[in-house]
Amino acid sequence: MKPKVLLTHDLFPEAIELIQKEADIEFCTSGRPPQKSEIITKIKNKQGLLCLLVDQIDKEIIDAASRLKVIANCAVGYNNIDVEYARSKGIYVTNTPGVLTDTTADLTWALILAVARRLPEADRFSREGQFTGWQLDLLLGQEVTGKQLGIVGMGRIGRAVALRAQGFQMKIVYSDPCPLSSEQERKYQAHRVSLEELLRTSDFVTLHLPLNAQTHHLISSRELSLMKKEAILINVSRGPIVDEKALAEALEKREIWGAGLDVYEREPQIEAKLKQLNNVVLLPHIGSASRETRLKMALTAAKNLIQGIQGKKPANAV
Ligand code: GLV
């Protein structure tokens, strides 16, 4: 008899086929995301769980899962899972690092350019029939080339963002508890500074770090007040790293010039004030959303799940 696994959502057929060779799959059906009560009921006889970042896998679910060996998250971030508790029960938690690095760095750059050059506003302007002719001062934005980019969190994605910044001849600074080696600093042309200095001196500040107790509201009123008036903040990591109310206020009062967000504090809700402002570009958490990358994420999660139910240490155990 094959081991049983629970999938909180449907996946691409390629990933389903892979799992079906090794396990019997049951799906959650009570919604997107499914209700917690459904996960609790269905997890009881399962050896593996494959979930998405919208599924909150807490103590109660883990306690209901007496046979569980692995929780495979189809995301690089895993703040939706009580990892410590799972670990204390001998359950592996896995993520999907690496496969989404470039895609997420590309989206970061799409946001930098969209905010700096006011692309969504310009698109609306054109569609609304307001384009009546070239004007010297129409929709003026911020120059990107040659400016200073501050990268908060110099992991895989932060470094991929830095590589792209070299094409824009930017000065790159970063803050991270772990310094890069001097060889890496040369490769990424990046110089380590304190968070405070990064905020005070950068024209663009971009966040690439995991959400945890230390990074919750890392950027709040005080940090925003340190930033330049012309600065732009980009967040493609996790919403609660930024105090959204404080950000909305700073944008409204023009204490900073603009922001680009792909993630929110209370997803899928977005702070009402943000939606009224023109100087913020709002995306629906699509950092890794290319067809190729989402498929790779699903396949990586599927492989981690299979390794876990087979009693092997999964390649991407966190
Ligand atoms: C997306 O946000 C991810 O963590 O993969």
Express each pLDDT in 88-118 by its tens digit: 999 999 999 999 999 999 999 999 999 999 9
Please tell me the predicted confidence (pLDDT) of residue 307: 98
Q: Chain centroid to CA 46: how far? A: 29
Express each pLDDT in 167-181 by its tens digit: 999 999 999 999 999
Please tell me the predicted confidence (pLDDT) of residue 68: 98
| Pairing between β-strand 70-73 and β-strand 48-51 as defined by DSSP bridges | parallel
The letter for the amino acid at 46 is: K
Interatomic CA distance for residues 133 and 253, integer angstroms: 31
CA distances (Å), origin 266, targets 57, 149, 240, 242: 17, 27, 8, 11
Domains of the chain in sequence order: 4-99+292-309 (3.40.50.720), 101-282 (3.40.50.720)
| Pairing between β-strand 204-207 and β-strand 148-152 as defined by DSSP bridges | parallel
Please tell me the predicted confidence (pLDDT) of residue 106: 98
Is the four-CA dihedral 243, 247, 249, 255 of positive or negative sign?
Answer: positive
Q: Give, for ligand 1, the residue of 52, 55, 74, 76 to mutate: max count of ligand atoms closer than 8 Å to Cβ.
A: 76
Residues acting as catalytic residues:
238, 267, 285
Please tell me the predicted confidence (pLDDT) of residue 245: 97
pTM for the whole structure: 0.96
Nearest-CA residue for atom 1 of ligand 1: 75
Mean of the per-residue pLDDT values of the chain: 98
Residues 6 or more apart whose CB falls under 8 angstroms from that of 141 comprise 116, 117, 118
Q: Give, for ligand 1, the residue of 81, 264, 288 to mutate: max count of ligand atoms closer than 8 Å to Cβ.
A: 288
Ligand 1: residues with CB < 6 A are: 53, 75-77, 100, 287-288
- Determine the distance separating the centroid of ligand 1 and the alpha carbon of 233, expressed in angstroms: 19
The fraction of the chain above a pLDDT of 90, given in percent, is 100
Ligand 1 atom having least distance to the Cα of 74: 5
CA distances (Å), origin 312, targets 51, 121, 280: 19, 51, 45
Sheet with 232-235, strands from edge to edge, namely 190-192, 171-175, 148-152, 204-207, 232-235, 258-261, 280-282
Express each pLDDT in 60-69 by its tens digit: 999 999 999 9
